[in-house]
Amino acid sequence: MENGISLYPGLDNTPDENLALLERAAQAGIRRVFTSLHIPETDVAALKQEIGSLLRAARRHHMEVISDVSPATCQLLDLPEFNPASFRMLGITTLRLDYGFSAEEMARLTHRFPEMRFQLNASTITNRILKDLQDAGTDFSHIDALHNFYPRRGTGLSEPALVHANILLHRYGIRVGAFVASQGRRRSPLGDGLPTLEEHRDETAELSARHLVALGCDSVFLADSLPTDEEIQAIGQLQGDQVTLHAHYMTKDPVQRELLAHTFTSRLDEARDAIRAQESRPLLREMHATIHPDNTTTHPIGAITIDNETYGRYMGELQIIRMPQPADPRTNVAAMVDESECNLLQYITPGRKFSFQFDSETDRTRQKLSFISERES
């Protein structure tokens, strides 16, 4: 995935903080930077002084720099007129054309400036806009899309609105990105986070990002001014085109744990009560291993089960339970999806890939001790 951070020169961070943020993002494997150059609260003099060093640093790391564009942007950057080549020379490689450009102008830009990329506002896209762009001869290979973020509480998108826009854009082969809020330093003036989806406003960036991937987003951007190192690492390691679930082991058996480490595909013949892994039984045969009965307890929602040797040819069958089931001596409960993430099960549709991310035993012990300490205080 091509994920990103956001930089706001002349706003909350010092120049050194912005440069350090860019460096940390590059080290984490992040290769995209979004910047907005017409926020009313920005110190324009500070922005003009800082923007050059940030763009040079991004160029050193071969990072794509995305900027929204308006008439005020040209004035701010001392450009006499709107000319994509001038932005390219400054180090801005993608222009987000939010408003004021007709379909014909957009089409012409994609052909006249093949070295540039142009970005649509995914949050306001309609089928009519996309059809007009197609009829005008737009080269969609130079186009992608990015949703808005929403500073004011209660104004973020709903999940159905985001999914509808993503489906429209994907029909035309256009990749789509969206924003998650940070729990670090949140951008002024409101400080309420900058998510695309309203439900993500107070959610962790890591879980929000995995939710966006499950909803069909192709890239995720940290939107706020100074995200934490943990958030940067999570976005840098985010995997695309699959649903990743946090889970915890219910077994110490190395064979079951090894099997759980793989990426699976949800079978096309969808079961009513469970998500069935397509590859688990063949994988176990390749391992030349046996699953012995172990933790054959009841199967609540979110249980990750593996059939043991007493199930005959079904040995190695891996399922995620969607409807509670009674205990079965032929089936082991090998792990559990974290309760807060069971809502993600609905996005593991037939043919969709999924995998598990397990906390280390040390992390889980630390979390339990922290919970006990908080409860006692």
The H-assigned helical ranges of 176-279 are 205-214, 229-236, 254-260
E-assigned strand segments in 139-251:
143-146, 176-180, 219-222, 242-249
More confident residue, 180 or 75: 180
How far is the C-alpha of 48 from the C-alpha of 259, rounded, in Å? 54
Window from 25-39, 126-140, 169-183 with minimum mean pLDDT: 25-39
How far is the C-alpha of 125 from the C-alpha of 55, rounded, in Å? 29
42: pLDDT confidence band, cut at 50, 70 and 90?
A: confident
Q: Is the pLDDT of residue 376 over 90?
A: no
Pairing of strands 242-249, 264-265: unpaired
Q: What average pLDDT does this structure show over 318-338?
A: 98
E-assigned strand segments in 239-369:
242-249, 264-265, 274-276, 303-307, 318-321, 331-337, 353-358
More confident residue, 49 or 287: 287
Q: Which residues lie below 8 Å from residue 307, measured CB to CB, with a gap of 6+?
A: 291, 314, 315, 316, 317, 330, 331, 332
Q: Quick one: 78 exposed, middle or buried, by C-beta within 10 A (0-12, 13-18, 19+)?
A: exposed
Q: What average pLDDT does this structure show over 58-80?
A: 85
Q: Is the pLDDT of residue 372 over 70?
A: no
What would the two tokens of residue 288 be? 């030349």
How far is the C-alpha of 211 from the C-alpha of 245, rounded, in Å? 10
Q: What average pLDDT does this structure show over 338-342?
A: 95
Three-state SS at 124: helix
Q: Is the pLDDT of residue 363 over 80?
A: no
Mean of the per-residue pLDDT values for the chain? 92
Q: Which residues lie below 8 Å from residue 343, measured CB to CB, with a gap of 6+?
A: none
What would the two tokens of residue 260 be? 């759980």
Q: What average pLDDT does this structure show over 164-171?
A: 98
Residues 134-165 pLDDT 10s: 999 999 999 999 999 999 999 999 999 999 99
360: pLDDT confidence band, cut at 50, 70 and 90?
A: low
Q: Which domains does the chain have, with CATH numbers?
A: 4-240 (3.20.20.70), 246-364 (2.40.100.10)
pLDDT the model gives residue 91 = 92
pLDDT the model gives residue 74 = 78
pLDDT the model gives residue 99 = 72
